[in-house]
Structure 1
Amino acid sequence: MFKNLKIIDLSTVLAGPSVGSFFAELGAEVIKIEHPEHPDVTRSWKLPNEDKNSAISAYFSSINYKKVYQQLNLKNSEDRSQLFELVKLADVVLMNFKLGDQEKLQIYDAKLHELNPRLIIGKINGFGVKSDRVAYDLILQAETGIMSMNGTPESGPVKMPIALIDVLAAHHLKEGILIELFDRKGNSAYKGKSISVSLYDAAVSSLVNQAANYLMNNHVPQRIGSLHPNIAPYGELFQTSDHKTITFAIGSHRHFMQLCTFLGISEIAEDQRFSSTQERVKNRVDLFEILNEKVKQYKADEILHYMHQNYVPCGEVKDLAAVFKTPAAQEMIRKENINGIETKRVSGIAFKVEKK
């Protein structure tokens, strides 16, 4: 799809490199530039059981796929000249330098556009183009309200177990670059642009309904575990007779009636306490106690089969070992040999193009 696209990836850690991997997986030539003595720090982010002498880690592998690696010290004029030669033939340059570092390395946007007037420069920063704060995903989750909402009343604030803000920022930058590539195609008058995405803006943008709940109703979300503030039952965890954990996302009254029918308690769908989504949220504790007594009488597969057949959202809570036993997840695995080591990661491409 992008076999004629050339990208220079100067970024490190997760957000920027994952943008490069996205385009590489779609056929682009992606050259990742690393400092000879101080390469991408995620090469060293290893689990205790990983080889401490290896030049790569599972973390690094997850967002560096199908790239060509080149070592350049951009403080060195000769190495910088090599970068400039690459830029002349590139379509996109990715970077996530701290404020002022571009200037220190003498790779200003203006210089890059002078070398290549049609160049698209994609940038990731932490708290905006004028901030020099060091930004890691955890800090953004803390400062944008996400940790305050995540967890239970007993747990205190909890971070998401993935670098969610990095992932979101990467998606926003992909969108911006794709728009520019579309605008550039066939446009001889196109002038190169610099697109920047801050982790902060990406995080706030992701607050969606929780933000609206606050902005419109002055509702400050509290930690309620997996529960949903607007829907019930939604996120409550139920143990089945075969000791599996399942959960429901009952988004409509029809869903609720189907659930009650299966459990043999159709009458509670008419109970005033549970007669609407709003009432079920108000009385979710009483509702959980009623449902829980019934759910634990069934095996997980019995419940899941019925719910799937009747289009009621229901799922088993699985760990990653169980997830990657499924054919759908297996299809998402991508392998590549890097430095003589077989690496694995999940695809950065979630869309599918239907063939006619």
Structure 2
Amino acid sequence: MAILKLQARSSGPLGGLVVVDLTRVLAGPYCTMILADLGARVIKVEMPDKGDDARHIGPFVEDGWESVSAYFFSVNRNKESIALDLKCPEDRAVFDRLLEGADILVENFRPGTISRLGYSWEQLHRRHPRLVLASISGFGQTGPYRDLPAYDMVVQAMGGILSLTGEEGGVPTRVGVSIGDLAAGMFAAIGVQAAVVERMRTGVGRHVDVGMLDCQVALLENALARQQVDGRTPAPIGSRHPSITPFGLFKALDDQMVVAAGNDGMFVRLCDALGAAHLCDDPRFVTNAGRCEYHADLKVLIDAALASRPVAYWLERLRVLGIPCGSLNNVEDVMGDPQVRARGMLVELPIGQSRRLSVAANPIQFADAPPARHTPAPRLDQHRSALLQELGMDRSPLTP
């Protein structure tokens, strides 16, 4: 068979790139969804019968005889699906043909698994020197933890994030979204694009190695500096900021709200707006360092001032003065937020035969670009016939 190049999508910044996606559950699918949202064509390769493990994780939408995972649905839009068993010679032949036409292969098996299947980086690079391989794993392809399994909760704990989250004096608390997986998916998408840019210069692909634990360490930002400069191990401090005050949750008449006065000038304006100008003259609060030291005292005084009016009043008043602030939204509130709606950050797609669900859109927007078009997460093996014909391996007619 002649070497082929799979037909690429023509729209989007990554239009022209074809991704073969061996990933499952969350970190890998999140990476490939980002690439798909940006215009790459993503062909998801799943195990026959079972498919991606995420297809069996709830919540589920019941659609007649079919039960569809909303979990899977949320991170697999804009992809095609073909079911292949890479231990079966016939299916390996299809997979090899896919690789001939691909630019990028993404996998999130435990290190060594893809090599045992005959697709190590060395083998792939020899056969397809332009191919970019991205491997996402718990601990990366090297190091003493290389072969250990990991989930989001494991790397949140081992990477220090868990030790920083929760109420002051309380127990560490998991971040409410799977930041271990999501961060790895985002860093992998960045790495893939960097490797593609390099390939434009060199003509040669790279192996992108992303470990979930590494990504958690990369998110520690100022906690690393505080550990070394202060000589104290950072611990949970609730919603407030460790180095800026006032910067956190405060209680108004009807609900909690966020106020973030990030410098001395904002603090003065905040005090004026609250009818508490005397706080600016209090020796405890004149500097940010003092406000941080006496943060508990200041919070009591700000809460007392805010208690006279509802959140809506304070948001309007503080925003006019250029003081960053916001309501404490739950997920339902976010879905109805006018700014979220205006930015197109919710995409409604069909799930099953009779229902539609909103999913979070890609937050990367481009000036003057038309609205992105999205397809729902694919059914298992949905695109087999079309793909086999495109690969020249099936003589049956394409499905309309």
- TM-score, scaled relative to structure 1: 0.93
**Which secondary structure does the structure 2 equivalent of 1:169 belong to?**
helix
1:139 and 2:151 correspond: no
Task: Return the offset for 1:184.
Answer: 2.1
Match of 1:346 in 2: 360
Whether the 8 Å contact between 1:250 and 1:256 is mirrored in structure 2 is yes
How many residue pairs match? The answer is 350
1:270 and 2:270 correspond: no
Whether the 8 Å contact between 2:195 and 2:208 is mirrored in structure 1 is no
What value does the CA root-mean-square deviation take over the aligned residues?
1.8
Equivalent of residue 51 in structure 1, options 46, 59, 62: 62
Cα distance in 2 for partners of 1:38, 1:280 equals 56
1:42 and 2:82 correspond: no
Where does 1:150-165 land on structure 2 (aligned, <5 Å)? Answer: 150-153=165-168, 155-165=170-180
Equivalent of residue 3 in structure 1, options 15, 21, 25: 15
Task: Return the offset for 1:163.
Answer: 0.7
Higher relative contact order (CA 8 A, sep 6+): 2
Where does 1:32-181 land on structure 2 (aligned, <5 Å)? Answer: 32-47=44-59, 50-51=61-62, 54=66, 56-130=68-142, 131-153=146-168, 155-181=170-196
Cα distance in 2 for partners of 1:29, 1:74 equals 21
Whether the 8 Å contact between 1:333 and 1:344 is mirrored in structure 2 is yes
Cα distance in 2 for partners of 1:275, 1:294 equals 18
Whether the 8 Å contact between 1:73 and 1:79 is mirrored in structure 2 is yes
Cα distance in 2 for partners of 1:101, 1:314 equals 48
Match of 1:25 in 2: 37
In structure 2, relative to structure 1, the CA distance for the partners of 1:283 and 1:153 (3 Å cut) is: closer
Cα distance in 2 for partners of 1:218, 1:82 equals 57
Gaps of 5+ in 2: 1-11, 370-400
Gaps of 5+ in 1: none
Cα distance in 2 for partners of 1:308, 1:345 equals 29
Whether the 8 Å contact between 1:66 and 1:336 is mirrored in structure 2 is no
In structure 2, relative to structure 1, the CA distance for the partners of 1:178 and 1:35 (3 Å cut) is: same
Cα distance in 1 for partners of 2:225, 2:195 equals 30
Between 1:66-75 and 1:15-24, the stretch displaced more is: 15-24
Match of 1:318 in 2: 329
Match of 2:394 in 1: none
In structure 2, relative to structure 1, the CA distance for the partners of 1:152 and 1:124 (3 Å cut) is: same
Match of 1:355 in 2: 368
Cα distance in 2 for partners of 1:310, 1:215 equals 37
1:233 and 2:246 correspond: yes
Equivalent of residue 190 in structure 1, options 196, 203, 214: 203
Whether the 8 Å contact between 1:9 and 1:95 is mirrored in structure 2 is yes
Q: Which amino acid aligns with 2:83?
A: Q
Task: Return the offset for 1:320.
Answer: 0.8
1:203 and 2:216 correspond: yes
Sequence identity of aligned pairs in percent?
A: 29
Match of 2:306 in 1: 295
Cα distance in 2 for partners of 1:234, 1:261 equals 17
- TM-score, scaled relative to structure 2: 0.83
1:248 and 2:262 correspond: no
Whether the 8 Å contact between 2:165 and 2:236 is mirrored in structure 1 is yes
Task: Return the offset for 1:265.
Answer: 1.3
Task: Return the offset for 1:88.
Answer: 0.5
Cα distance in 1 for partners of 2:327, 2:292 equals 22
Cα distance in 2 for partners of 1:38, 1:104 equals 21
Match of 2:346 in 1: 333
- For residues 69-101 of structure 1, the C-alpha deviation after alignment (integer angstroms, 9 at most, x for no partner) is 000011112111111100001000000111221
**Which secondary structure does the structure 1 equivalent of 2:257 belong to?**
strand
Task: Return the offset for 1:54.
Answer: 4.0
